[in-house]
Amino acid sequence: MEVQLGWWTKVETTDKDREEAARWLPRLWCLNPECEEFELPDRGKVRFLRRYGANETQLLFGCRECEKTFSLRNGTPLYGLQMKDEKFFGIVSCSGEGNGIRNTARIVKVKNETVGRVVKRVGEHVSKLLKEDLRNMWPGEVQLDELWSYVGKKQRKRMKPEELRKEFGDCWIWVAFDPETKVVLGYVLGKRTRENALKLLERVRDVLADGSLPLFASDGFPVYEDVIVEVFGVMKRPRRNGRVGRFPKPRRVPGPGLTYVVVDKIRKKSRVIRVERRVAIGKKSDVEEALAESEVSGKINTAFIERQNGKLRADNSRLARRTLGFSKDKKMLKHSLDLTIAYEMYCRPHGSLRQRDWGCTTRKWKPRTPMMAASITDHVWSVRELVLSRVPDRSTRTPFGGM
């Protein structure tokens, strides 16, 4: 088939080329900042032109408005690299499956430094991708927890000069998790302080749709109750006591529909002897209604976020408790976490999310990823799709995760 755009020479494309290009068109836009179609995807203004390169392995696209051409790699971690695609995708796959830098380097047969640079590039890319895709969410329940790790050296083993480096020592990973879709709504790296809890809840608020108030659940860490009210509460002026004096200043109070439950684990000699469940914010009837509508929770619990934390430890070698692969740099821990979380949510089907496939005769179950369960994607992504998915530069939005 011949393609004629007026400003472009006639070229021949095959059906196979057009099918492959059609998968990318919804996420492509013109890269010319002076064009009216700049960073406006899926408007029908971008068209596939031809293949190019030494073996014609790359796809070339063009904009109808400004008549500029651009590669599929432009604006992705692959742009400007001399590395072969197979090795690049191999590094991403091995890192996403939980291998450390040295293991990945031995498997793919590259240098350790190369693996580190690829993890940094892809981590920055998928962080923007998650920030772009996780919007207007309507989770019925959000579970909150903290995962312990460390950077450089454990807190109690630091020497005097190492105490001057603030990033050295304990580094907690604050996680917000949707137990129904298995989507990580956000995370924060830092100490176990109220400021980091506030950052986490603010990121959850940015992910939620307007009017969405899920049931929050956590362990007995006391800062959550105050922070949830500060982020999701409403301003109200308390009544004045008596007839004289100034009126009290407005303050944040729990609004209608805001619910928060706590799972307290009572310990004795470092062993859990009993578990107490209580409603910290909201009405008990609202909590019972939210649990009745939940597809996974029949009672107050934090089991799903604790299982997710264990999964993160298994899927990221930096989080293992006794390992030589611990993080020496906080920024690399962030890039590694971004890659691990994105790989789990886009590329790896979750066993509990599978659905019965009645229309297929060759398989009984249809695999689904957390992003498919959240209706963000419609198929299991390959590593190539994860790396080559272009993301608009929205620097004003709150990042998905970080410090």
Q: Could you give the 3-state DSSP secondary structure of residue 93? A: helix
23 with 166, same domain? no
pLDDT in tens, 96-143: 999 999 999 999 999 999 999 999 999 999 999 999 999 999 999 999
Q: Is residue 388 part of a domain?
A: no
Q: Taking residues 63-76, what's their average pLDDT?
A: 86
Query: Could you say which DSSP state residue 318 is in?
Result: G
Q: Is residue 371 part of a domain?
A: no
277 with 344, same domain? no
Report the distance separating Cα 181 and Cα 36, nearest Å.
37
pLDDT in tens, 294-322: 999 889 999 999 999 999 999 999 998 88
Lowest mean pLDDT among 22-31, 180-189, 214-223, 329-338: 22-31
Q: Is residue 239 part of a domain?
A: no
φ, ψ at 22 (rounded to 5°) = -65, -25
55 with 87, same domain? no
**Of 223, 221, 296, 234, nearest to 264 (Cα)?**
221
Report the CATH number that the domain containing residue 311 is assigned in CATH: 3.30.2170
189 with 289, same domain? yes
179 with 311, same domain? yes
305 with 211, same domain? yes
173 with 199, same domain? yes
Domain end position, chosen among 75, 92, 122: 75
Q: Is residue 354 part of a domain?
A: no
Residues of the domain holding 129:
80-133+325-349
Report the distance separating Cα 47 and Cα 9, nearest Å.
14
191 with 332, same domain? no
108 with 6, same domain? no
Tally of domains within the chain: 3
113 with 32, same domain? no
Tell me what percent of the chain is helix, strand and coil, each rounded to the nearest 5. 35, 25, 40
Q: Is residue 397 part of a domain?
A: no
Q: Is residue 201 part of a domain?
A: yes
64 with 157, same domain? no
163 with 306, same domain? yes
Domain end position, chosen among 53, 75, 97: 75
Report the distance separating Cα 369 and Cα 366, nearest Å.
10
Residues 157, 159, 164, CA angle at the centre, nearest 5°? 115
Cα 46 → chain centroid: 28
10 Å Cβ neighbour count for 330? 18
